Structure 1
Amino acid sequence: MQFAMFRRVAAGGAVAALTFAGVGAATMSPAYAASSKVSVVHGIPDTPVDVYVNGKKTLDNFKPGDVAGPLTLPEGEYDIALTKPGEAVDKAILKVDDAKVPGGANISLAAHLSADGKPEITPFVNDVSKVGAGKARLIVRHTAAAPAVDVRAGGKPVFEGLTNPKEAKADVAAGTVKADVVLAGTDTVAIGPADLNLKEGTATIVYAIGSAKDKNLKLVAQTITGLHSAPGGVPSGNGGQAGTGVDTWWYVLAGAGVLLLVGGGARVATARTGRR
């Protein structure tokens, strides 16, 4: 499973071209194409947006710290635009034409700051393999404008030297743990502490977002359920919410689904046809 790189170009303003490749059966028709579960994390501080899909506004004032999804989306191509709240689509600050949604994956898209403070989008493929009895999966993603960090649970480092935009993960005993983020190799707390409820059969994904320079670092968490090893588990998982600052939502409209693959928004809208 491979993803083509996200590319950012300038043409009279910021234009983002988002392309996934190599996931699912690209030659299948839309009616039979594999679908994906996709969530989006908005981790760019101070940047609320309105989102348009195929020229229609589908999301008002999507705010930093929110998590959108999960959506079950068919493979397809869509046109997407971001504007400042209340502005028309022809004044888009970011525009995506023919954004490709793959099939057959569980994906989280993080709109966040790079280590040097520049907005970017990073796709993460979520590990939704089964966990053992009594276990939970903890995944930590460094998506903040900050140096390398260590992640501690109960005051002890569990992940060390994590840099933006990397992730680290481990299957651990289920239960509530007190976690914080410190500068790598020190006891200097950058984020937290925060209580994480790691339920059996789930994956809790914790994102460090914001900027150390601007002193607005915080944690955003996403939970994927259905990873029990016992019969009845759902390996594909269902996204959810956990932790401070998470506002998960989804909408179902008539017709096919479409994902907003930009700047921290996700919404279901009617897909355009005849594009494949």
Structure 2
Amino acid sequence: MRILSLCRAATAGAVVLVALGTTGSPAFARSGSQVSVVHGIPGQAVDVYVNGKKTIPDFQPGKVAGPLTLPAGKYDIALTKPGDAIGDALLTVAGAEVPGDANISLVAHLGTDGKPVLTPFVNDTAKLAAGKARLIVRHTAAAPAVDIRAGGDPVFTSLTNPDEAKADVAAGTVSADVVLAGTQTRVLGPTDLDLREGTATIVYAVGSAEDKTLDVVSQTITGLHSAPGGVPGGNGGRADLGTPLPWYGVGIAGLLLAVFGLARTVTGRR
């Protein structure tokens, strides 16, 4: 498995804003939201259309575009093969609602049936205590339930598509892998995660177990420090995971689908 990486597309935000005929608003603006787009559909580059305008051309699998600053409102989103018309879209979302003052990740990935879907997640950007980092794991792969282990010990168990789990931990480096739930059968990893103080590291499991395309995509949100900052964290450079980590967010994707109004509008085809 290749090393976790954050593939930033800084210019995508400006492209989207121009296409929408808006001007960028700062992250603290109450009317705007920070929206990142995560490409987790294996083997298929796409053009991303927002409100009928091509905003992210030739978007490659495994990359993260944004964050884009979008005003609150409703948006029509379509993903096509590069150069195809919107009428031949692989995936469409009509009237997706973007609330104000939120940090959102829109993830194009495979559902449990192996078909492309788009799932919104609201990212937790609450301030972190000094020396802490936030780890968020999201199951967005066409694969069975999995356990996520740190140092060989399960910390998140029985995670299913499209749910998430998260915890605030001591900053540092931790060796993580993914196994089939309740087994020792490794499907991803191990890999070292650099959990930096004052950041949220989001790890997405993507791809298909049946097609042997399972992989990971990572996203990092910075600026979550709370005063005082700069306090050394970790245990010998390793995140302190000796205490069982709390569960959060199981079933959150279903709630988000209802909040965003996507449940009835998302359609996909291969």
Q: TM-score normalised to the size of structure 2?
A: 0.69
Shift of 1:102: 1.9
The change in CA–CA distance for 1:89 and 1:165 in structure 2 (over 3 A counts) is closer
Shift of 1:262: 8.6
Shift of 1:192: 0.9
Instruction: Answer yes or no: is the 8 Å Cα contact 1:48–1:63 preserved in 2.
Output: yes
Which of the numbers 103, 112, 116 marks the counterpart of 2:109? 112
The alignment status of 1:221 with 2:201, answered yes or no, reads: no
The change in CA–CA distance for 1:167 and 1:110 in structure 2 (over 3 A counts) is same
Shift of 1:141: 0.5
Instruction: Tell me the matched-pair count.
Output: 205
Provide the rounded CA distance (Å) in 2 between the counterparts of 1:149 and 1:95. Answer: 29
Which of the numbers 150, 160, 176 marks the counterpart of 1:153? 150
Alignment of 1:76-87 (within 5 A): 76-87=73-84
The change in CA–CA distance for 1:161 and 1:79 in structure 2 (over 3 A counts) is closer
The code of the aligned residue for 1:64 comes to P
Which of the numbers 167, 186, 197 marks the counterpart of 1:189? 186
Which of the numbers 84, 94, 119 marks the counterpart of 1:122? 119
Instruction: Answer yes or no: is the 8 Å Cα contact 1:81–1:96 preserved in 2.
Output: yes
- Provide the residue aligned with 2:197 in structure 1: 200
Shift of 1:98: 4.2
Shift of 1:126: 0.9
- Provide the residue aligned with 1:75 in structure 2: 72
Instruction: Answer yes or no: is the 8 Å Cα contact 1:111–1:262 preserved in 2.
Output: no
Structure 2, unaligned runs of 5 or more: 1-28, 231-264
Provide the rounded CA distance (Å) in 2 between the counterparts of 1:130 and 1:94. Answer: 35
The change in CA–CA distance for 1:111 and 1:56 in structure 2 (over 3 A counts) is closer
Provide the rounded CA distance (Å) in 1 between the counterparts of 2:200 and 2:171. Answer: 10
Shift of 1:156: 1.4
Which of the numbers 154, 164, 167 marks the counterpart of 2:164? 167
Shift of 1:169: 0.7
The code of the aligned residue for 1:198 comes to L
- Provide the residue aligned with 1:139 in structure 2: 136
Alignment of 1:1-276 (within 5 A): 34-230=31-227
Provide the rounded CA distance (Å) in 1 between the counterparts of 2:181 and 2:94. Answer: 40
1:144-203 Cα shifts (integer Å, max 9, x gaps): 111111101111111111111111111111011111101111111101111111000111
Provide the rounded CA distance (Å) in 1 between the counterparts of 2:186 and 2:148. Answer: 10
Instruction: Answer yes or no: is the 8 Å Cα contact 2:131–2:229 preserved in 1.
Output: no
The change in CA–CA distance for 1:226 and 1:99 in structure 2 (over 3 A counts) is same
Provide the rounded CA distance (Å) in 2 between the counterparts of 1:230 and 1:33. Answer: 23
Structure 1, unaligned runs of 5 or more: 1-31, 234-260, 264-276
Shift of 1:42: 1.0
Q: TM-score normalised to the size of structure 1?
A: 0.68
Root-mean-square deviation (CA, aligned residues, Å) is 2.4
Instruction: Answer yes or no: is the 8 Å Cα contact 2:90–2:116 preserved in 1.
Output: no
Q: Secondary structure at the match of 1:116?
A: coil
- Provide the residue aligned with 1:267 in structure 2: none
Report % sequence identity. Answer: 73
The code of the aligned residue for 1:192 comes to G
Instruction: Answer yes or no: is the 8 Å Cα contact 1:37–1:105 preserved in 2.
Output: yes
1:59-111 Cα shifts (integer Å, max 9, x gaps): 22111111111112111334443322122445444444444322121111111
Instruction: Answer yes or no: is the 8 Å Cα contact 2:130–2:229 preserved in 1.
Output: no
Provide the rounded CA distance (Å) in 2 between the counterparts of 1:138 and 1:208. Answer: 14
The change in CA–CA distance for 1:96 and 1:135 in structure 2 (over 3 A counts) is closer
The change in CA–CA distance for 1:47 and 1:178 in structure 2 (over 3 A counts) is same
The change in CA–CA distance for 1:214 and 1:202 in structure 2 (over 3 A counts) is same
The change in CA–CA distance for 1:201 and 1:151 in structure 2 (over 3 A counts) is same
